[in-house]
Amino acid sequence: MDQRKMHGVWANRWTFILAATGSAVGLGNIWKFPYIAGENGGGAFVLVYLICIAIVGIPVMMAEVLIGRRGRMSPINAMRYVTKEAGLHGSWTAIGWMGVLAGLMIMSFYSVVAGWALNYIFTTGSGTFSGVNGEQAGELFGGLLGDKGGQVLWHSAFVLLTLGVVAAGVTKGLGMVARVLMPFLFVVLIILLAYGFIKGDFAAAFQFLFDFKFDKLSWSGVRIALGHAFFTLSLGMGAIMAYGAYMPRHASLGRTIITVGVLDTVVALVAGLAIFPIVFATDGLVPSEGPGLMFVSLPVAFGNMPGGQVFGTLFFLLVSVAAWSSAVSLIEPGVAWLAETKRFNRVASTVLLTSVAWLGGIACIYNGAIFDALDFLTSQIMLPLGGLFIAIFVGWLMRRAIVCSEMDAEGHPLFDIWLFVVRYVSPALIAFIMIASLYDKLVN
Ligand code: TRP
């Protein structure tokens, strides 16, 4: 009860859905998914990603939220509570610690990319892109990457925005933002989709994303797909566990999480179907463009469509908002924990942790190798490992009666299927992919 007063509780099930979707839908969907799909050959990669979402991501997400709601505290203390309840050794709390660390690591490079999006609100708004071709758009993006000082400013602005919401308390700070702006993002994505359909090479894009050519798929591609399933659902580091801790007691966990997972996946696929038609219809753009894909292909579309200046500005505004509501969840687990220790209040905790991430972001700006390393370590190692341990914990170590009552699934046939997946299928798949890709790396 004490903790609930301290952090607040979501007003109802829908606020949780919006907040969790706000966390899940972010740069991962709009920026990262299209470019990694592009780099890994499209179709087969997308299929593996969808499989990972369905049989690892969504089931493990239920497990992670379940721990949060059971423990009712920051991930570190929630893990401590459920570990004690299960009569186990305290080392399981490491899941919480690793999560706090992973959150800061992700926030470091995430806020750099979000800074690019903030910058693009103004670049697009001032009409810089009007009439550009692919090559010119590429040069403009390259110019931003070369301007280190400018990037630091945009990055800092984004970190400050995040600080504001987290300091205010997530349940208070976020509700409005999510409720109003998330639906807006959907609308603009649909408009972009329509533009790509009419003006771009939609058929080529569709084929690229959904034609399953397995010869293009490598083990590293499979590992990237798994890692991205975790990244895009904000899974494996306690973010969604922290949000689960603020979930009302009587909300159906299963249905709620499926809603979030489906929304997140739809946004990613629509973003892909909006971006690739333009890529294929524009000379000088290729799917394997890399991290610059969204920042180069979409300006070409905005620069050449009627009303593009307005839509473009709105689009990058919404991407920034989506990134904002995600970044909040990267910092929240650590802040909630620090606030629980009572050594700092919420504001001081937030300032402390965002400062760490801010410094990490500056390191990423000046050294691209750090950017890549943080991305790799978190998405492809820490998040899947976190998910593996969460699945093992809920599947094997928590008392079945507790799991069943938290899921509110007494006698529901889907409960047994879910528990089977969390016990056997998800852990086995995570372990198999990690081991196989490691083996593949060692052999080749
Ligand atoms: N899911 C967000 C996105 O796709 C990023 C994110 C927010 C995240 N919180 C997280 C990723 C926690 C991993 C863990 O942009």
Q: What is the pLDDT of residue 176?
A: 63
282 lines ligand 1 (CB under 6 A): no
Q: What is the pLDDT of residue 1?
A: 42
Closest atom of ligand 1 to CA, residue 330 = 9
Chunk the chain into consecutive blocks of 10 residues (it has 444) and report each block's average pLDDT, rounded to whole numbers: 66 83 95 95 95 98 96 95 93 95 98 98 95 93 97 98 89 69 81 88 95 88 96 96 87 90 96 92 87 91 84 88 93 93 90 98 98 96 97 96 88 91 98 92 85
- Helices of type H across 342-382: 346-366, 368-375
Distance from Cα 276 to the centre of ligand 1, integer Å: 23
Distance from Cα 74 to the centre of ligand 1, integer Å: 17
Q: Which amino acid is at 397?
A: L
Top mutation candidate among 61, 112, 162, 234 for ligand 1, by most atoms within 8 Å of CB: 234
Q: What is the pLDDT of residue 413?
A: 87
Query: Rounded distance, CA 166 to CA 162, Å?
Result: 6
- How many other β-carbons are positioned within 10 Å of the β-carbon of residue 288? 13
23 lines ligand 1 (CB under 6 A): yes
What is the set of domains in the chain, with CATH numbers? 2-443 (1.20.1740.10)
For ligand 1, atom 14, name the residue with the nearest CA.
234
List, in sequence order, every beta strand (DSSP E) within 284-442: none
Q: What is the pLDDT of residue 16?
A: 85
Q: What is the pLDDT of residue 3?
A: 58
- Please check whether residue 112 is in contact with residue 155, taking contact to mean a CB–CB distance below 8 angstroms: yes
437 lines ligand 1 (CB under 6 A): no
Q: What is the pLDDT of residue 314?
A: 86
232 lines ligand 1 (CB under 6 A): yes
Query: pTM for this structure?
Result: 0.95
Distance from Cα 380 to the centre of ligand 1, integer Å: 13
Distance from Cα 239 to the centre of ligand 1, integer Å: 8
- Please check whether residue 304 is in contact with residue 131, taking contact to mean a CB–CB distance below 8 angstroms: yes
- Please check whether residue 160 is in contact with residue 338, taking contact to mean a CB–CB distance below 8 angstroms: no
SS3 call for 371: helix
